[in-house]
Structure 1
Amino acid sequence: MSPLEPAPRARPDVVLGLCSFTHDSAAALLVDGELVGFVEEERLSQVKHTRAYPEQAVAWLLQESGLTAEQVDTVAYNFHGPRYLADLATLPALLAHPASSDRALPRAVSFAKVGVRTLRRARGLKRRFPHARVRPLQHHRTHQMYAFAASGWERAAVVIADSLGETQTTTIAAARLVEPGRPALGTVLALRDPGSLGYAYGAVTEHLGWRRGDEEGTVMALAALGDPARFRALFERIIPITPNGFVLHPAYFAPRVLSSAYARLRPRFGAATCPRRRPHEPITDVHRDLAAALQERTEQVMLHLARLARDRTGERRLCVGGGVATNCVAIGKIIEAGLFEEVFVPPAPGDAGTAIGAAAAAHIDASARPLAGIAGACYLGPDFGGHPLDLTPWPSLAEKPVDGDAADFLADQLAAGLIVGLFHGRIEAGPRALGNRSILASPLQPDVVARLNDSVKFREPFRPFAPMVLAEHAADYFTLGQDAPFMSMASGVTDLARTVIPTVIHANDTARLQTVTKDGNPFVHAVLTAFTRRTGVPVLINTSLNVKGKPICGTPAMALDCLATSGLDALLLDGRWITK
């Protein structure tokens, strides 16, 4: 080769991370260690919490990067099949205990079946990506890797709390960067099933009449309306805190069997609390009080885990992941306790985010290249800007011109009292709408919460709505004392907030805020700035662009359906103003 000729470009290292076949299917792609993108399948398929292989998500990622399935080097899967078999070691103890002996054999069989099924699924992925190495990874490791890598910190303690990852339910790790872009994690404590906070919260959610794995947030909201004292002693007895974490009482929480045919709660739980509520039955004081006691005990356990993390790692910062990390009130309590200088929850703390964590872990294991593009990133999915707009399928909708600057125009409409869907840029990661697939409204309208719940979201009247605030003015209204860019933390409020924006304050005197910076989301920052000029208030209500039971709208068609079938006044879709 001539010295003047450029050296041939090395073939890129391509790692595809997958969360699939359980719930919240998602895909992430790393090319030479850099995150190309991430999207949850439900945002494209319109099937909430889908467990299907993320066909559309993978197709978009490969198209976005100009690659084919044959060019994928590694497929990183977020579960490790053989590790399910480790649960067989619990069989003798469960058989020996009168409260769990009836579940011991069905449980062992179910864990063995799921372990074998997970191995088969990994082999099936090989057929889709013929030249790739398929890497099954321990579930909690993928959570840990994502939570820490997304923080951008050099070192931290990491707490993962979920329902189940193979046999683990709760882990504490010490994390650090051994060099830029190369995280190292060491687990210092691991709790195994049947001791699971996610299992317990889901079980009581179902007992209260809501869908387990979907509507735990509704129970968290209901808890603010109840009195935990009624069932406080019960929860202290059935979820006792121990020096190494916590356990579940098997006489109340039946040991897990990996099958929907087996109830999670024993009859003894209903006898000590209330009969199981059916979804359309009235909500009474006993339901409110039960939710309040469950939430209080969850906060106490999470605080205990945070203290253990501080004491066992010596770190001054904390990352929290797993499904329980979506409990924003518990996260707020950890921050309020002052155990750490700062607390971080990634934008997708649940299982979907493990697609990124799996890809990152597989890359770190096999390559010397540093990770890039994960820290602080949340707008990672498809962008539909510039696509032609055909309103023919929605004859009730019409496009009208935007008068002047789009951010100013939207601020005018919001200040005038309109409830507007906002669809622009790339799809957010995680369960919270962060301004790119949002419904926005003025918090200054006294009836706005009722309008949103009754005619837009079609959900329970006690559900609160979250505020987004200019980061530079957050301390005037909220007492959190740190940034909250991903709407994952409940904050106390100031007297100014109680006076000016009571619509965003829940019954427990908190608000789940999102702090917005110009660098984080330039357009939303411009809207908030323009709204502040008009009203003097740097706060807007932000809720997800969807209705109850539907996923956040990931595509223009989904957003237009939402406008046509709900009480939304209008939709700003990639700079185009759509009204009814």
Structure 2
Amino acid sequence: MQPYVVLGVCSFTHDSSAALLVDGELVGFVEEERLSGVKHTRTYPEHAVTWLMSEAGITPEQVNEVAYNFHGLHYLRVVPAALGLVGDPASRHRAVARAASFTKVALRTVRRVQALRRRFPHARVRPSLHHRTHQMYAFAASGWESAAVLVVDSLGEAQTTTIALGRQSEPGRPALRPVYELTDPASLGYAYGSVTEHLGWRRGDEEGTVMALAALGDPARFRALFADAIPITPTGFALHPGYFAPRVLASSFARLTPRFAAETCPRRASDAPIKQVHRDLAAALQERAENVMLHLAALAKTRTGRRRLCVGGGVATNCVAVGKIVKSGLFEEVFVPPAPGDAGTAIGAAAAVHLEGSARPLAGVANACYLGPAYADQLPDLSRFTVHRLDGDVAEVLAERLADGQIVGLFQGRVEAGPRALGNRSILASPLKPGVVARLNDTVKFRESFRPFAPMVTAERAAEYFALGQEAPFMSMASSVTDLAREQIPAVVHANGTARVQTVTQDGNPFIHKVLTAFARRTGVPVLINTSLNVKGKPICGTPAMALDCLAGSGLDALLLEGRWITT
């Protein structure tokens, strides 16, 4: 019997990626940027698909279904309401442009599906509703039998916020029932991205920088403004068109109104100094985002009656907001998949199509994050570097050198899924050494000095340092810290008193767990700084060549590359 092969694709918008299911088993998943070196690339994921075909030992002709993560015709839902803005004096000048832009994108998305058909002429190409792909991935990755599923992003066709009830009556057969939606222009992702751009950072890329900056500001200065600009309602929230102009899907149309700038500050140039007004604006934006997310989580609890919550969509990468949901006690447990943004929808789209077309259960999706290529036997020429093959226990050697104060890049095993390095493509450092944060920001990552670094800790001892109260294997939620953490590891505690923690189990990543244990044996502290193996503006290093370039172009002391200790 021929295998049932489903290829999931995120492509042509941003964060291109691909996932492959063969008879329901997840062969792999990888973001294209990890292989091409182009951050947030929107191109067809050629490298990712080529690797997946090779990994599975199949050809494109054997693919039965191609699952795409957008459904073009659903963009047309926005058009009637967009034309209705003609009667609103504040928005009428954008009404026709808004309707025309959504129509244009709808047709463009249909053409993209046709382009995929030309690449896979023997397969059926299935467009999927974008939020459904987010929901499916978030719920399937949790492995739970039942949960509320909350997806919050900038835009998925017409939807911006959805709640679904996830149930799994038998293992590997997740099912979803939609219970709630908000449509554009009510979009928290649109609002956060707009203010990010106003503050001088790249929308769709550097919202995390604004989240970090928020800890240094006073939200009271603009609290009332954001209460008006993003009003919370019994059925969700809205955006005030006097501050956030209704979306037009064209870069030539501003997202914020002149009124917003007049009541806050002029738009900051990316190279301009950061002033207190920028910190305060970031703080007020972040506070409002947290309030909205808490409100949406409460709606999810009310409308589903579930005790657990899965969160997906681009806004799910706001670890502080997710941490506030955890801390609220609304749910017994909160789960964010390793790739909550659009890249992860390649898995969700593939899973949804497989479940419709096959009776076989899904496998390899739940709690999986190390899903990309490995290169243990495919190393490039190392002659321009000094290379030592480590003998003995590599984890012990690495722990010793970290305890001595070295900053080390780590490249091992399969590439992680999602925006956080989780120990296979990481930069590790001791949180106990004075000046380590400044050194990492100034000479290794080349990024803003106020940005914090995340800790990784053995799951067994996490409660000694972090008050999250649940495991956080994918570094997706900020936790308040204990007095012991403030005393011993202040380097990983941000100005708001939190840390974006990664808890590591022996089963989840045996090597990193062993390194943490060995480090604790030497120092008494089972915590290391873990940041992604890249420099600012570049994607996480997915290939050995990218990792070696990072070593050569940064202040890393060494790169541990598949058991080889490499220095410049």
Q: Is the TM value for this pair above 0.5?
A: yes
Indicate whether 1:249 and 2:237 are aligned.
Answer: no
The residue aligned with 2:157 is 166
Instruction: Tell me the distance in 1 between the aligned counterparts of 2:89 and 2:469.
Output: 49
Tell me how far apart the structure 1 counterparts of residues 50 and 147 of structure 2 sit (CA, whole Å): 35
Partner of 1:156: 147
Aligned to 1:57: 48
In structure 2, distance between residues paired with 1:250 and 1:240: 11
Q: Supply the AA of the counterpart residue of 2:13.
A: T
| Among candidates 357, 362, 367, match of residue 358 of structure 2 | 367
For 2:193 and 2:283, the matched residues in 1 are separated by 14
What are the residue-to-residue correspondences of 1:393-432 with 2, within 5 Å? Answer: 395=384, 397-432=385-420
1:223 aligned partner: 214
Q: How many Å separate the matches in 1 of 2:542 and 2:481?
A: 32
Are 1:526 and 2:514 counterparts? yes
The residue matched to 2:168 in structure 1 has which SS?
strand
1:275-323 alpha-carbon deviations (Å, 9 max, x no partner): 0000010001000000000000000000000000000100000000000
C-alpha displacement of 1:135: 0.2
**How far did 1:178 drift?**
2.7
CA-atom RMSD, angstroms?
0.7
SS in 2 for 1:381: coil
CA deviation map 1:450-505 (0-9, x unaligned): 00000000000000000000000000000000000000000000000000000000
In 2, the alpha carbon distance for the partners of 1:416 and 1:241 equals: 51
Q: Which amino acid in structure 2 is aligned with residue 305 of structure 1?
A: L
Match of 2:105 in 1: 114
**2:4 equivalent in structure 1:** 13
Report the counterpart of residue 577 of structure 1 in structure 2. 565
1-side partners of 2:243 and 2:528: how far apart? 43
Contact 1:493/1:509, CA 8 A, preserved across alignment:
yes
d(CA) in 2 for partners of 1:54, 1:91: 33
- Deviations along 1:5-40, one digit per CA (max 9) or x if unpaired, are xxxxx1100000000000000000000011000000
Contact 1:403 1:409 in 2 (8 A): no
**Pairs aligned (count):** 568
Which shows bigger deviation, 453-462 or 362-371?
362-371
Aligned match of 2:490 in 472, 494, 502?
Answer: 502
Match of 1:568 in 2: 556
State the distance in 1 between where 2:308 and 2:545 align. Answer: 42
In structure 2, distance between residues paired with 1:187 and 1:259 = 30
Does the residue aligned with 1:287 lie in a helix, a strand or coil?
helix
TM-score norm. by structure 2 comes to 0.99
SS at match of 1:170: strand
Shift of 1:404: 2.0
Give the distance between the partners of 1:387 and 1:279, measured in 2 at CA: 39
Alignment-derived partner of residue 458 in structure 1 = 446
Specify the alignment match of 2:171 in structure 1.
180
CA distance in 1, matches of 2:116, 2:82: 31
Q: Which stretches in structure 1 are left out of the alignment for 5+ residues?
A: 1-9
Counterpart Cα distance in 2 of 1:371 and 1:83: 27
TM-score, normalised relative to structure 1:
0.97
> Matched residues in 2 for 1:538 and 1:276: separation?
43
Correspondence for 2:119 among 113, 117, 128: 128
Alpha carbons 2:185, 2:247 under 8 Å: kept: yes
Cα drift, residue 389 of structure 1: 4.1
Q: 1:445 to 1:560 in 2, by over 3 A?
A: same
Task: Provide, for residues 400-430 of structure 1, a one-character-per-residue CA deviation record: whole Å limited to 9, x for no partner.
Answer: 2324211001001100000000000000000
1:171 partner SS:
strand
Equivalent residue letter for 2:404: A
Unaligned runs of 5+ in 2: none
Which of 463, 479, 485 is equivalent to 1:491? Answer: 479
The CA deviation at 1:198 is 0.2
1:140 aligns with 2:128: no
Q: Distance in 2 between matches of 1:313 and 1:255?
A: 31
Structure 1 residues 308-387: aligned runs within 5 Å: 308-387=299-378
Whole-angstrom CA distance in 2 between matches of 1:441 and 1:535: 13
Moved more, 80-89 or 198-207: 80-89
- Residue equivalent to 2:93: 102
In structure 2, C-alpha distance between the alignment counterparts of 1:366 and 1:242, rounded to whole Å? 40
Query: How much does 1:92 deviate?
Result: 3.9
Closer/same/farther in 2, CA of residues 92 and 108 from structure 1, 3 Å limit: closer
Report whether the alignment pairs 1:292 with 2:283: yes
Greater displacement, 398-407 / 72-81 = 398-407
Counterparts of 2:448 and 2:466 in 1: how far apart (Å)? 25
- Residue 99 of structure 1: how far off its partner (Å): 1.5
Moved segments of 4+, more than 3 Å: none
What SS is found at the alignment partner of 2:371? strand
**Matches of residues 56-95 of structure 1 in structure 2 within 5 Å?**
56-95=47-86
Paired AA for residue 358 in structure 1: A
**C-alpha deviations, 1:530-560, integer Å up to 9, x for none?**
1011111000000000000000000000000
Deviations 1:244-290 (A, max 9, x none): 10000001101011111111000100000000000010001000000
Contact 1:80 1:118 (C-alpha < 8 Å) held by counterparts:
yes
What's the offset of the Cα at 1:186?
1.0
Segment of structure 1 superposing worse, 94-103 or 57-66: 94-103
Matched residues in 2 for 1:180 and 1:331: separation?
A: 27
Letter aligned with residue 317 of structure 2: T
Q: What is the CA–CA distance in structure 1 between the aligned matches of 2:90 and 2:155, rounded to whole Å?
A: 21
1:422-450 deviations in Å (ceiling 9; x for gaps):
00000000000000000000000110000
Note if contact 1:162-1:170 (Cα within 8 Å) is conserved in structure 2. yes
Query: For residue 65 of structure 1, what is the amino acid of its counterpart?
Result: A
The letter of the residue matching 2:310 is C
Secondary structure of residue in 2 paired with 1:426: coil
Q: 1:443 to 1:123 in 2, by over 3 A?
A: same
Q: Verify the 8 A CA contact 1:91 1:108 in the aligned structure 2.
A: yes
Distance 1:238 1:68 in 2: 52
1:96 & 1:337 partners in 2: Cα distance? 42
Q: Which amino acid aligns with 1:97?
A: D
